[in-house]
Structure 1
């Protein structure tokens, strides 16, 4: 496989230590360790300074094999590499967000990172009330952040990498039907689904193909989502949603649903090779390694390195509220290696994906999604 398709997490993680205020691109990574589920303060063993960085998760928790877990790795990397103190608290429901952020304020954190679009209101309110604390938020750049010099958005244009994933799925399907579903109808979910559907459409135009996307209609901005009050934590619900798409003929599933997406991986595994998946947020062969034989590739976001860089900038006194936008061009998002599928993905398809990446970066291919972030 050509190197231009791959993200290089180890190299980019090392480079992150030279960053100020997220001026350079992050890479991707995932942690398989499940952290504590209660508020904690964990000073580094040797040379821990007075600086303390803290994190508040979305309701998926720090072991979600997705965006919370990858963001949390940025915090643990900061502890190990910068010799700082850290604190964290997991959220179990929307009602937890404001009080959990306040608990980190009360714990005298110098910087607080919140994880997820759904924490935007609580994060903005806390940043406004605590101007002497630096804040960063993963996956949100809301208008309410304007004028807050102590709040940095860390966002990612995953429509670009999802476009590549859609093209990949269209090139690999045997049934000519591919599926996707989301956890909830929010921009940080639908951006993946938009890019995926447009990538399939592009494949059809280039190849005179007829691959259908089940689960998302980009024109109507409507599709299949996990029902219920906890759509991102309902693995059985994710499996039922995936099975619905599979029953309609989809043989590649693209779940954008956090832990609920594991239900799609379970369905793929149970199919004994008839159905496969493309994972999101982190390399699924790292974060959900038991399902690596079912994962063709993953659309990854470099949340860990973005978080690490923002923490370092705060510690060094170079923090800026300017948004970080991860793209294919700066390495903030991209497709992960094909792992077990490397020999199964045709060389021609790999070359086409390299060309698509270059064309997206150059602007030759333009992605259309209302959910794309702007700087």
Structure 2
């Protein structure tokens, strides 16, 4: 590990983000999927309507769309407002689906995913009287001038660093792996943090655990093939099998629904291979695979979405970015669930110390994909 991964507290300012709100870990109730543009209402709606557009994963993706959708339904329940939603099947749907929510007279439209950025910015500029929020992207140079668009982003490099340490500390083969759905910042940020967490373990313990599937120096690695890789479960399975064939016994899939392929490989291994899930608590969203999920790197997207909708209804909405971090519980590690008794107490203690050191700035993480406030 390079020495510059460790920094004195004086370097904290370089790694600190402007936080727009605080969030808590995601709840353990999975969202219900939708399939067509729809509208419903809660109690006394007061004429306010909150809407959401998914990316191609849909609202039942066991990942970030599902957790974000829960933020919408929670807001509807808590505020008694109307609800609208539409699922995207592919990239070509994004613009027309956002427009369908504009046409449905939504007061705020939340789009889910980095890939919806261009369509969201265009719609926000064309409809200045409608509030917009986007999960998983912020481009300060572009977004700052769009006063009705709020970014909701998460520094998962921090929590993935902890996950990498857990993977390295529990690997029996001395090799761990990761792969992505596509080479985009909201994917590679996990892979950066994971690899640097393994590197930190090696430095602290005098070990040489290898990371397969990602190289932090070249910023390249293993990605699911195909035109729609995040939906390619078979491709995710093949990619995971490739890492296992090279010796990896802990895998971090950062591939949305395609990551289920890695879960299938782990389940078929009879306990020889395990996984760490991302975006949401995998033991909740993918319960059938809980016996093979050591922990999960969560993003509290539901709380961030609910807060953005609440602010819009209460006329306190701003375009200031929300950045979820370890410090505000916007990201972190989910419980160890069935692995709680299998992970040594000293490893758990090390992970808590790492969390404190990242929060204080004693440990800094280098990833160009880390979000900007």
Whether these two folds match at TM > 0.5 is yes
Of residues 86, 97, 101, the one that matches 1:100 is: 97
- Following superposition, the deviation at residue 153 of structure 1 comes to 0.2
1:74 aligns with 2:71: yes
Ranges in structure 1 where 5+ consecutive residues have no aligned partner: 1-20
Ranges in structure 2 where 5+ consecutive residues have no aligned partner: 1-18
Of residues 306, 309, 313, the one that matches 1:308 is: 306
- Following superposition, the deviation at residue 22 of structure 1 comes to 4.7
- Following superposition, the deviation at residue 32 of structure 1 comes to 3.1
For 2:92 and 2:29, how far apart are their aligned partners in 1? 27
- Following superposition, the deviation at residue 47 of structure 1 comes to 1.9
Residue pairs, 1:56-205, within 5 angstroms:
56-142=53-139, 143-205=141-203
Find the counterpart in structure 1 of residue 10 from structure 2. none
For 2:147 and 2:302, how far apart are their aligned partners in 1? 22
Residue pairs, 1:353-368, within 5 angstroms:
353-368=351-366
With over 3 angstroms needed to count, the CA separation of the structure-2 counterparts of 1:30 and 1:189, relative to structure 1, is farther
- Following superposition, the deviation at residue 33 of structure 1 comes to 4.6
For 1:195 and 1:29, how far apart are their aligned partners in 2? 24
How many residues align? The count is 354
Find the counterpart in structure 2 of residue 211 from structure 1. 209
Runs of 4+ in structure 1 deviating by more than 4 angstroms, as ranges, are none
- Following superposition, the deviation at residue 176 of structure 1 comes to 0.4
Task: Check whether the contact 2:31–2:70 (CA below 8 A) recurs between aligned residues.
Answer: no
Superimposed CA distance per residue, residues 253-310 of structure 1 (whole angstroms, 9 cap, x where no aligned partner) = 0000000000000000000100000000000000000000000000000000000000
Task: Check whether the contact 1:176–1:211 (CA below 8 A) recurs between aligned residues.
Answer: yes
Task: Check whether the contact 1:285–1:291 (CA below 8 A) recurs between aligned residues.
Answer: yes
For 1:123 and 1:33, how far apart are their aligned partners in 2? 23
- Following superposition, the deviation at residue 146 of structure 1 comes to 2.0
Task: Check whether the contact 1:22–1:309 (CA below 8 A) recurs between aligned residues.
Answer: no
- Following superposition, the deviation at residue 48 of structure 1 comes to 2.5
Superimposed CA distance per residue, residues 136-175 of structure 1 (whole angstroms, 9 cap, x where no aligned partner) = 0000002321211100000000000000000000001000
For 2:22 and 2:342, how far apart are their aligned partners in 1? 34
1:252 aligns with 2:254: no
1:352 aligns with 2:318: no
Task: Check whether the contact 1:180–1:214 (CA below 8 A) recurs between aligned residues.
Answer: yes
For 1:117 and 1:79, how far apart are their aligned partners in 2? 24
Residue pairs, 1:38-49, within 5 angstroms:
38-44=36-42, 46-49=43-46
SS of aligned partner of 2:150: strand
Q: Provide TM-score, normalisation by structure 2.
A: 0.94
- Following superposition, the deviation at residue 200 of structure 1 comes to 0.2
- Following superposition, the deviation at residue 36 of structure 1 comes to 1.7
- Following superposition, the deviation at residue 31 of structure 1 comes to 4.2
SS of aligned partner of 2:41: coil
Task: Check whether the contact 1:30–1:70 (CA below 8 A) recurs between aligned residues.
Answer: no
